[in-house]
């Protein structure tokens, strides 16, 4: 069993820690809001007072934060992860951030004599809790093999995609499709509803049709009842789409459906839906169609 550290105990990070604890790993964790991590302390996690303290206590430190700025905040500075790293240690960032920023951080980790992997995930709270999460990993092969048993405790499908930064690129390429699919699904439901078909009936038919991808199956029902806690909110999804659009410009890959969906996320934010799960795309489109909840 490994001596693991974890920084960022939000919706996904906290459940990852629970899986690591259940697998028998020793976990030291840090979260900015201490009260949110109390249930993990009760489950056996040791609480640290800073990201630096986590990295000092652990052989392998993982982090899961909201964006590039949040990663900079937990990694840099006198109390950051970098300050707690030493030769032989391994740092795995599971956040969805700028590939350039991730690669730059990997170089700083290497300068400390440690190794870094970027290891974002594909899936949701439900797939994580069901043990079906998919993890993509960028970095050196040797570091990947060292990390594999730990990551496998979080999700069973762990794939090495190449050098540092490429896993984050793969995650961005994956996530753009989530929002695009949600928007297309919403269009279909609303078209059926305005033609006279009950919303619940339209959802049932679509979820049992050829368009029902795994994402549509677990998020489609949100158009009938949104979760109390957003799995992945509008702001976070738009962050990923903006990263995708930036990559598209740099790599000269046109992303027309991503661009349209990004504008709909802006509309959702303008309607005050930014903290709701990105399935709120349906509500934004419904309002534009003149349909009330």
Q: Which residues carry out catalysis?
A: 171
Q: Which residues contact 278 (CB under 8 A, 6 or more apart)?
A: 178, 179, 182, 230, 232, 233, 234, 236, 237, 265, 268
Opening angle at CA 40, ends 37 and 168, nearest 5: 75
How far apart are the C-alpha atoms of 143 and 139, rounded to whole Å?
7
DSSP run (H or E) holding 47: strand 46-47
| Environment class of 106 (CB within 10 Å of its CB; exposed 0-12, middle 13-18, buried 19+) | buried
Angle between helices 256-270 and 234-251 (to 10 degrees): 150
Tokens of 15: 């459940």
């Amino acid at each position: 069993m490994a001596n693991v550290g974890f920084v960022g105990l939000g919706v996904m990070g906290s459940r990852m820690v629970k899986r690591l604890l259940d697998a028998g790993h020793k976990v030291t964790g840090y979260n900015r809001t201490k009260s949110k991590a109390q249930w993990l302390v009760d489950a056996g996690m040791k609480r640290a007072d800073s990201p630096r303290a986590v990295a000092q206590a652990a052989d392998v430190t993982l982090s899961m934060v909201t964006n590039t700025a949040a990663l900079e905040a937990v990694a840099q500075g006198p109390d950051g992860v970098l300050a707690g790293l030493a030769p032989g240690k391994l740092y795995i960032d599971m956040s969805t951030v700028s590939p350039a920023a991730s690669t730059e951080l990997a170089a700083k980790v290497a300068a400390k004599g440690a190794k870094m992997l970027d290891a974002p995930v594909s899936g949701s709270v439900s797939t994580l809790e069901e043990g079906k999460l998919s993890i993509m990993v960028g970095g050196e092969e040797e570091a990947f093999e060292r990390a594999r048993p730990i990551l496998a405790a979080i999700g069973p499908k762990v794939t090495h995609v190449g050098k540092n930064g490429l896993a984050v690129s793969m995650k961005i390429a994956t996530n753009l499709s989530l929002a695009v699919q949600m928007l297309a699904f919403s269009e279909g439901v609303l078209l059926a509803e305005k033609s006279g078909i009950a919303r619940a009936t339209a959802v049932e038919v679509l979820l049992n049709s050829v368009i029902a991808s795994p994402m549509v199956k677990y998020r489609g029902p949100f158009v009938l009842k949104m979760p109390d806690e957003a799995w992945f909110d509008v702001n976070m999804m738009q962050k990923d789409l903006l990263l995708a659009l930036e990559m598209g410009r740099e790599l000269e890959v046109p992303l027309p459906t991503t661009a349209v969906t990004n504008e709909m996320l802006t509309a959702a934010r303008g309607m005050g839906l930014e903290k709701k799960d990105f399935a709120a795309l349906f509500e934004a489109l419904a309002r534009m169609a003149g349909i009330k909840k």
